[in-house]
Amino acid sequence: MYRDPAQPGGPAQRDVGYSSPGAAAEARRWASTLVNRNVTVGGRRTSMRLEPPMWAALQQVCSREGKPMNRLVTDIERQRVESSLTAAIRVYLLQYFSAAATDEGHRLAGHGARHPMRL
């Protein structure tokens, strides 16, 4: 296992289970960008960690569908087959926006053009 020398004495000093320094750094980069928020799912309060663009997309769906976030997340939870609620939310968002995509929308967004989409 890789032992992270970047933070002597800190929690990252422990064996983190990554096979290389690059893999550990990549995991830390993504982990540090997750935003934790509380939601109520089926009357039960829980916390979820998602990337900021996922939170923005979830809020956009709520706005478009006229649903409070707690209700939308509860609906996703009731229908999920993925291993976790956050995985189910990511899949839901991908399916939601994929279903709304049109050829014209792709053209206007510059998809398939010579320049790749900026993330």
In a domain? residue 72:
yes
In a domain? residue 23:
no
Q: Which domain holds residue 49?
A: 35-108
**Cα three-residue angle 103-108-114, rounded to 5 degrees:** 95
In a domain? residue 7:
no
Measured CA to CA, the distance from residue 4 to residue 74 in angstroms comes to 39
Q: Is the pLDDT of residue 37 over 90?
A: yes
Cβ-proximal residues to 85 (8 Å cutoff; 6+ apart), any chain: 41, 46, 48, 73, 76, 77
In a domain? residue 75:
yes
Measured CA to CA, the distance from residue 49 to residue 93 in angstroms comes to 15
In a domain? residue 14:
no
| Mean pLDDT for the stretch of residues 87-113 | 85
Cβ-proximal residues to 58 (8 Å cutoff; 6+ apart), any chain: 50, 69, 72, 73, 89, 93
Half-sphere exposure (Cβ direction) of 47: Cα atoms closer than 13 Å: 5
In a domain? residue 102:
yes
In a domain? residue 117:
no
Tell me the range of 17-21, 32-36, 90-94 where mean pLDDT is highest.
90-94
Q: Give residue 106's pLDDT.
A: 77
Q: Give residue 2's pLDDT.
A: 42
In a domain? residue 51:
yes
Number of domains in the chain: 1
Q: Give residue 64's pLDDT.
A: 93
